[in-house]
Amino acid sequence: MIVSLPFSLKFPTNVDERGALTVIDGWKNIPFAVKRIFWIYGVPEGARRGGHAHKLCQQVIIAVAGSARVTIRGQEYMVDDPAKGLHIGPGISIALDRFAPGTVLVVLCSHLFAEEDYIKDVTA
């Protein structure tokens, strides 16, 4: 399995006196067809999420509110900008922690949930 490093995606954003509007137009902004979307919120202080990889599934993590730290192979990335997403390819184990109060992460996935796609017991 070829494992690529994560990369940041910047989404088109329009800002004026009324505020900001950020858009994701499918294939133009995301490198895969989105088949599943979930969000993570209400994470208690000190809690950790993730701790696994996927055999096939790709993900883009977007902090639509707040922030969190994503650790991948000892490298730390902050997701804290609703106009940016962190692309996680197959085979990449991640750990999520340091959730700011009120954080909401939206995760776009290339595959539907499948237990057999999980690679568990790996360290990020």
Over the stretch 98-122, which tens digit does the pLDDT of each residue have?
Answer: 999 999 999 999 999 999 999 986 6
Within the chain, what is the greatest distance between any pair of CA atoms? 48
Beta bridge partners of 92: none
What is the DSSP track for 40-98? Answer: EE-PPTT--EEEEEESS--EEEEEEES-EEEEETTEEEEE--TTEEEEE-TT--EEEE-
78 is written with which tokens? 């902050």
Question: Which residues does the annotation mark as catalytic?
Answer: 52
Sheet with 118-119, strands from edge to edge, namely 75-79, 68-72, 94-97, 49-54, 118-119
Q: What is the pLDDT of residue 124?
A: 57
Q: What is the pLDDT of residue 8?
A: 86
Phi, psi torsion values for 48, nearest 5 degrees: -130, 140
Beta bridge partners of 20: 15
Q: What is the pLDDT of residue 119?
A: 94
Please choose, from the candidates 66, 3, 64, 76, the residue with its C-alpha nearest in 3D space to the C-alpha of residue 39. 64
- Other CB atoms within 10 Å distance of the CB of residue 87: 19
Domain boundaries, the chain: 7-12+29-112
Q: What is the pLDDT of residue 5?
A: 55
Query: What value does the mean pLDDT of the chain take?
Result: 91
pLDDT, tens digit, 9 for 90 and up, residues 42-54: 999 999 999 999 9
Fold of 7-12+29-112: Jelly Rolls (2.60.120)
**Amino acid letter for position 13:** T
Q: What is the pLDDT of residue 2?
A: 42
Task: Report pTM.
Answer: 0.90
